[in-house]
Amino acid sequence: MKWVSVKNEGKMLFKSKLKLVALAGLVLSILSLFTHFLLAKHTYGIVYEYHSSVTIMSWMPKFKKSDLSISNHPSYRRLWAPVRHFESLHPLANQSGDYAAPEMQSIGFIFVKIRGGFHEIRNAISDVVVVTRLLNATLVIPEIQSTTSSKGISTQFKSFPYLYNEDQFIAALAKDVKIVKTLPKDLKGARRKKEIPSFKVPHGASPYFYLHHVLPMLTKHSVVELLVHSGGCLQSILPPPLVEYQKLRCRVAFHALRFREEVQNLAIKILNRIKASGQPFIAYDPGMTRDALAYYGCAELFQDVHTELIMHRRAWMIKRGILKGNLSSDSAEQYRNGLCPLMPEEIGILLRAYGYSSDTIIYISGGEVFGGVKKLIPLHAMFENVVDRTSLSSPLEWDKVYGQEANLVDQYSIPPPSDNVVRRSQAWKNSGPRPRPLPPPPARPKMYNVEGWWGWVAESDDEPESTIMELRTNAHRLLWEAIDYMVCTEADVFITGFDRDGKGNPNLASLVVGHRLYQFPASRTYGLDRKEIAKLFEEIRDTLYQPNHTWITSLRKQLRRSLIDGLLEESKISKSQSFLAFPVPECSCIANDSMKRSINTSSPMPKYDIPVFSGQIDQCPSWMNAPTSSQSREETEEENDKDDSASSNLFLWLGYGDQEGDSTDISNKEEAFVEDQEELEGGER
């Protein structure tokens, strides 16, 4: 018995020790988890904000801390360093001495309704400010119909303040135009009764239109309403005497139009998360929207239902006069002419061929890519750090940007049947047993989400009416593109797959290019010649991932030229449609240079000088001049070209590519020298 008692005590003691060990392990686990939460909170903010923390934690370890010692390496400079030719270019949109302040007594009020996407709204706002100044009128804060026509949008932000900072806009332009938030009560009542003159302004209207058609009505009625539907409402290129109005456009777009605080804060958070590794990053705007693909006839670049959707949209555009042309088009021919977007796969090949390594951070902007996620799979295969605004932010953060929105499910649920319908149904049931035909089945709403969201394509020429959720999404898209706009503007490198929208006008990517050229002229922006790139890809269409050395060399030269020649070509194409897409030279100046240069000047441009843009470039004020180190940069140019390398296997390209120095102004001797070096050093690095 004694032995049994000792045995039981031993068992009890063992169990107690086991419980203590388990308890200790539990306490240590809790402490470890608590420590982890504290560290996460210190690094990223409050943990519960990151509903998508799994996504964030999945990409963060891939970011390697940048080795600052390689920032001076020639290969590194060739990929990320500023474009030397534009370093003497500086932003200058200040008023000149003969630009008078707005008159105290205006002749009337201009009320504006703007419809369209992000880039159309931005272009239109800068134009209506110029028109207001031209007519010596008072501008009422524009009404953005894309948001106010959507249901369920937060009442916290109405129209213009949904996207932009209203007070900042008024204060920044106080010396240019008089701006008020609302019309006076009497004019507001007249507008509600539709007693004021209204003008549907054509795209790119001339100053003559406003001075000879709008101004007389404004003088007579003290108020006019302008309806802007297609973006810019004033011609892009104004006569030389109106150069101050061009500078006013720049002050509006690049200084007065600040996004509201919630949008700016989230954009800054996303930028900080990208830059946390210390690495530079590339921003890429695919530009692959359904409307743009339909407008340019690029349907056959896709397969299955996507082609059918594009063709349906093209037929819709032709029916409404948006597009003049045939329904069928040769997509291959359009692609060869540079009128179709470059696919994400092709952009990935370009970047790898130029020398960007597989761990380069690439931020994708511009909303959803038409064709779905599968179109981005090849890009993800070539670059492991492909991110966008959704992977770098949480739903809770976006809720703060959207504001307090109505619950669409509760507020807009299916209404109950009317009393009349209920009475007829009861009468039918109580009518007694007599011969009668069967009643027709109740009408069922078409559930496209069951049969496929494209189910309507074969049923009607008209697309179904936008649902309330789609209207809300259209409003949210303005905020998404505002975030993308800020990130792309601040990117170390910017590249676009397409630069036109569904009406043939410059899109968001073009505005980014213009903003970067104004604010950061020397930042690396690839203005791709899609026609030349298409020719290069046609040469290796069957062996995309095993290009030869000659092809790689040609591609690299094309990309180097695009840093300067591409922008010059863009100035010819886009500037006539959107001034903000290329605000040089009106809103820029040259530091440490001779006095005004003109494209008609007979004196040759010195080597490595800034290319001559159309028009005149003024010399910067003395306080903006700073010593440059152009000589040292020229000394390293040959060293940079010598380090160029190429490989026949795309996935083994780990080198860095070529310098922007190979542009049209480099002599033939230097060009030949670079080619010789590339032939001698064609091995993989």
3-state helix, strand, coil in the chain (%, to 5): 50, 10, 40
Tell whether 277 is covered by a domain: yes
Q: Are 510 and 578 in contact (CB under 8 A)?
A: yes
> Looking at the structure, do residues 176 and 282 belong to the same domain, yes or no?
no
Between the CA of residue 531 and those of 221, 285, 369, what are the distances in Å? 52, 18, 22
In a domain, 128, yes or no: yes
Encoding tokens for residue 438? Answer: 């069967």
Q: Is the pLDDT of residue 404 over 80?
A: yes
Residue 266 shares a structural domain with residue 254: no
- Assign residue 379 a region (left: φ > 0; alpha: ψ between -120 and 50; beta: otherwise): alpha
pLDDT for 528 beyond 60: yes
User: Among 163-172, 178-187, 506-515, 659-668, which is the least confidently predicted range?
Assistant: 659-668
Q: Side by side, which strands form the sheet with 524-526?
A: 385-387, 361-364, 281-285, 493-496, 524-526
Q: In this structure, are 158 and 235 located in the same domain?
A: yes
Check if the beta carbon of residue 664 is closer than 8 Å to that of residue 561. yes
Give the pLDDT band (50/70/90) at residue 676. Answer: very low
Residue owning tokens 């996935």: 651
User: Which of 528, 560, 581 is the endpoint of a domain?
Assistant: 581
Same domain, 351 and 476: yes
Please tell me the predicted confidence (pLDDT) of residue 321.
86
Are 211 and 252 in a shared domain? yes
Reply yes or no on whether the pLDDT at 683 is more than 50. no
- Token match 């249901």: residue? 151
pLDDT over 80 at 395, yes or no: yes
| Residue ranges making up the domain that contains 252 | 109-258
Confidence of residue 129 (pLDDT cuts 50, 70, 90): very high
- 180 and 230 fall within a common domain: yes
In a domain, 89, yes or no: no
In a domain, residue 68? The reply is no
Pseudo-torsion of CA 672, 673, 679, 681, nearest 10°?
-160
The residues facing 617 across adjacent strands are 597
Domain shared by 212 and 283, yes or no? no
Identify whether residues 213 and 359 lie together within a single domain. no
For 14-53, letters b (16+ CB in 10 Å) and e give eeeeeeeeeeeeeeeeeeeeeeeeeeeeeebeeeebbebe
Which range is least confidently modeled, 80-89, 143-152, 201-210? 143-152
pTM for the whole structure: 0.78
Same domain, 187 and 272: no
Return the number of other C-beta atoms located less than 10 Å from residue 155's C-beta: 9
Cβ 615 vs Cβ 579: under 8 Å: no
Specify if 460 maps to a domain: no
Q: How many domains does the chain have?
A: 2
Query: Is residue 376 included in any domain, yes or no?
Result: yes
Return the residue matching tokens 């899609």.
530
Does residue 388 lie within any of the structural domains?
yes
User: What are 247-306's pLDDT values in tens digits?
Assistant: 999 999 999 999 999 999 999 999 999 999 889 999 999 999 999 999 999 988 877 778
Q: 417, exposed or middle or buried, with CB in 10 Å at 0-12, 13-18, 19+? A: exposed
Last residue of a domain, one of 555, 581, 607: 581
- Per-residue pLDDT at 14: 57
For residues 226 and 266, membership in a common domain is answered with: no
Residues 254 and 270 in one domain: no
**Cα separations (Å) of 188 from 155, 183, 198?**
21, 5, 14
Residue 201 resides in a domain: yes
Same domain, residue pair 230 and 279: no
Residue ending a domain, among 521, 554, 581, is 581
How far apart (Å, rounded) are the C-alpha atoms in residues 420 and 408? 27
